[in-house]
Chain A
């Protein structure tokens, strides 16, 4: 059988014989990838104005939409804290906004249990608007019109990037369930 088709005993997640997916990878990868998204300030890009979208928050939303129930409701607390350490926002804003976003998605999910990606995107839009507005409002500096104007391109970029990030998370999700552990 193997001589005819070497992939006959495997599926997209790897060989079905003698292999098993790893628990650490299956549950750790979402957390790890969101934390890597929060590390975006360490990208070798020194921005004179806020231009990059909040990658940590985008990754969190994408994971929440791609795999409902994988992240616990309280995940906003540790992930927001990690994001705060690097984002430049006053500590606490990430914790608050991440937790609130997860709660809102949960409530919307109860009301609309059957959703398409379009609806997810539509929900991400007000969430991102809320995130960026509150982050700018409580950034620790006095708010000016210029600052609000600078947020708009950032919002636009985040909304456009969201499908791409969701796609990346979907690829990560397949990686997450790969059978990497060898049995016996």
Chain B
């Protein structure tokens, strides 16, 4: 197609000026974008309010769509899920899968109980979920892995709370809007969860890999004790996640751990539970100023000795 008439400015001075202004404004727009990008990379929380406001506005549409999504694994199966005839079969399969995970979780709980009773003589009650919500969307084209859920500040959701499905842990709340919130999925490369093997005390960190799997890194290096098919559950270290929630299944053994598959594939999840932060101490750590800010404060206060004995662990403050 030839240039549109408005672009052939020729001798017309006014038209030339218009074209020039267009370039100028577009260039300024690009510069503004670059500046905003640098700001949000340095301080990721700067525009959280704007984002959660937009998410609140769009969430009703997402909820309608989420109601139609049924047990499915990935994008293509999600589309196929709408037309699936043998839904009965899928339902049975899912029940078996839930049962298998529950068995592993129960095993882990048993051990946990025995250990707590033996060592601490501590009775831990069942935690009641803060809210029940729908997974209404995820950033499916970005390299980051965030999801949106249909519960927000009004439902009692706060940043840092773990989000789980009947099949296991999904992630934790990152930003909270009025009626919706943004969840950092376990597969995001910034997510890190302390885990242990369900059957014994092999501890590791589960790091997200952006391709949908997790990387398990053992804390005690040496001979790698992980075997294919080992189930890993949260260990409770760091205080955010209740111990004994199923997380991942080892699929491939590496030198310092394993590559693991997520047990609760968020694609197959409809309703999720938002649970309270397990240890109240972790809440204090989350609300405390970051290490850099604390150091600044200390520098200002000069002679004051370091006040916080629970030196902020990297997991809790992110």
Contact = CB atoms under 8 A, between A and B. Distances in A.
Interface stretch (B113-121, B217-225, B264-272): B264-272
Given A44-B69, A47-B140, A85-B50, A94 B33 contact: yes
A108 B262 CA distance: 45
Interface stretch (B125-133, B182-190, B299-307): B182-190
A143 to B, nearest CB: 8
Interface residues of B, number: 70
B145 A48 contact: yes
A103 B27 contact: yes
Interface stretch (B59-67, B84-92, B195-203, B285-293): B59-67
A41 B140 contact: yes
Interface in A57-110: 68-69, 72-74, 76-77, 80, 85-100, 102-103, 106, 109-110
A125 interface: no
Contacts of B139: 41, 50, 86-89
Interface stretch (B18-26, B152-160, B238-246): B18-26
Contact of A113 (B2, B40, B62): B2
Interface in A6-31: none
A133 B35 CA distance: 19
A150 B210 contact: yes
A182 interface: no
B314 interface: no
A136 interface: yes
A165 interface: no
Contacts of A175: none
Contacts, number: 226
A14 to B, nearest CB: 24
Interface string B100-139: 0000000000000000000000000000000000011111
Contact of A95 (B36, B41, B65, B267): B36
B265 A48 contact: yes
Interface string A122-151: 000000000000011011111010110111
Contacts of A55: 141
Nearest to A47: B140
B3 interface: yes
Nearest to B36: A92
B210 A93 contact: no
Contacts of B212: 47-49, 150
Contacts of A50: 139-143, 145, 210
A4 interface: no
Interface residues of A, number: 63
A166 interface: no
Given A92-B35, A114-B2, A140-B41, A40 B141 contact: yes
A74 B6 CA distance: 16
Given A44-B69, A44-B137, A92-B38, A139 B33 contact: no
B147 interface: yes
B44 A90 contact: yes
Contact of B143 (A52, A85, A115, A151): A151
Nearest to B261: A48
11 contacts: A69-B4, A73-B22, A74-B26, A77-B33, A86-B55, A87-B142, A90-B41, A93-B33, A96-B33, A99-B27, A139-B143
Given A92-B32, A144-B210, 9 more contacts: A47-B212, A48-B265, A50-B140, A53-B141, A80-B33, A88-B139, A95-B32, A142-B189, A147-B189
